[in-house]
């Protein structure tokens, strides 16, 4: 399993702070995001419309980063400020 944690506005829009994905068939962060987008139509729209930043095991990564069972994937919206 891959533990996926959501932060900030992303957590609010999804209505949850954490979900687990089966690691089978999920090789990269992009694969995990695609699997999350298939959860339901609301999630599909969120992951299609919103750019996310990813961290694996508390390290910022590119979306082509490989994933393994037991990894923790954190997703959060880009930081903005004014």
- Each residue's pLDDT tens digit, 4-53: 999 999 999 999 999 999 999 999 999 999 999 999 999 999 998 888 99
Asked whether the predicted pLDDT for residue 81 surpasses 80, the reply is no
pLDDT level of residue 82 (50, 70, 90 thresholds): low
Asked whether the predicted pLDDT for residue 80 surpasses 90, the reply is no
Name the CATH superfamily, with its identifier, for domain 2-76.
Beta-grasp domain (3.10.20.30)
Q: Quote the pLDDT of residue 55.
A: 98
Q: How far is CA 77 from CA 23, 25, 28, 70, in A?
A: 23, 25, 19, 23
Among residues 57, 79, 76, 70, the alpha carbon closest in space to that of 21 is found at: 70
């Amino acid at each position: 399993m891959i533990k996926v944690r959501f932060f900030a506005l992303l957590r609010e829009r999804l209505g949850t702070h954490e979900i687990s994905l089966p690691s089978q068939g999920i090789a990269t962060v992009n694969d995990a995001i695609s699997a999350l987008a298939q959860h339901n139509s609301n999630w599909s729209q969120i992951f299609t419309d919103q750019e996310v930043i990813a961290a694996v095991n508390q390290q910022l990564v590119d979306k082509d980063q490989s994933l393994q069972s037991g990894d923790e994937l954190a997703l959060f919206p880009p930081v903005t400020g004014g």
